[in-house]
Chain A
Amino acid sequence: AQKITQTQPGMFVQEKEAVTLDCTYDTSDQSYGLFWYKQPSSGEMIFLIYQGSYDEQNATEGRYSLNFQKARKSANLVISASQLGDSAMYFCAMREANAGGTSYGKLTFGQGTILTVHP
């Protein structure tokens, strides 16, 4: 089974509007971390935001916020006031606490969502 699922291959949003990118995950661990990365056309993956499974508040970083619904196992990224520079591929990723030993550092990535911001 897929550990991270991003069901939206592509999304479109008008400049200055908000957009939500979906991410669901599958784990039996109680302790895990969730990450979102942005990949512009240049190719470099840029870290955006992190949410821990025990964090009581939803994470926020500037225009990025994470809508974390633990019971539903979803960690959707919300981008407010979209800008043309937000056009990119977005990846959701997870680290599980019980990956074991040196595998602790591993991230599992979803398939990605391409976001296009229209002027």
Chain B
Amino acid sequence: DVKVTQSSRYLVKRTGEKVFLECVQDMDHENMFWYRQDPGLGLRLIYFSYDVKMKEKGDIPEGYSVSREKKERFSLILESASTNQTSMYLCASSLGTAMLRDTQYFGPGTRLTVL
């Protein structure tokens, strides 16, 4: 079974802090993704990575950056946290077969509150 883990289930940070969200997958997947989930908006893609050190902006990258130094680990960084970044953050990975049915597998999510 694919296992995607996220470093924290709940996180509380102060405005202006630098925040790191970590994601690790154990299935040698090529692709990794960071989403945020807000009520009524579904999941929105922040950034994704299709290879080590490669990244691409998703639909809402502003205020975020990412790092992928190793294949199994994908980090989301909030350089200076703001209250409008309070949200549920979900990490996902997929094999990266360039097939339509390449399924994304998700971690348990991190609920971040910025005060």
Contact = CB atoms under 8 A, between A and B. Distances in A.
Interface of A: 4, 31-33, 35, 37, 42-47, 50, 52-53, 91, 93, 95, 97, 102-107, 109-112
6 contacts: A47-B103, A47-B104, A52-B101, A95-B100, A106-B48, A111-B42
Interface residues of B, number: 32
Contacts of B90: 43, 45
Interface in B72-111: 88, 90, 92, 94, 96, 98, 100-109, 111
Contacts of B100: 31-33, 52-53, 95, 97
Nearest first, the 7 closest Cβ-Cβ pairs linking A and B are A33-B100, A45-B106, A43-B109, A109-B42, A109-B43, A44-B108, A111-B42
A91 B56 contact: no
Given A33-B100, A97-B100, A102-B56, A45 B92 contact: yes
Question: Interface of chain A, helix or strand or loop or mixed?
Answer: mixed
Contacts of A50: 101, 103
Interface of B: 9, 31, 33, 35, 40-45, 48, 50, 54, 56, 58, 88, 90, 92, 94, 96, 98, 100-109, 111
Question: Interface of chain B, helix or strand or loop or mixed?
Answer: strand
Of B31, B56, B101, chain A has the most CB atoms within 10 Å of the CB of B101
Contacts of B109: 43-44
A37 B94 CA distance: 14
Nearest to B51: A102
Contacts of B111: 43
Nearest to B9: A43
Contacts of A111: 40-42
Contact of A106 (B41, B45, B88): B45
A103 B106 contact: no
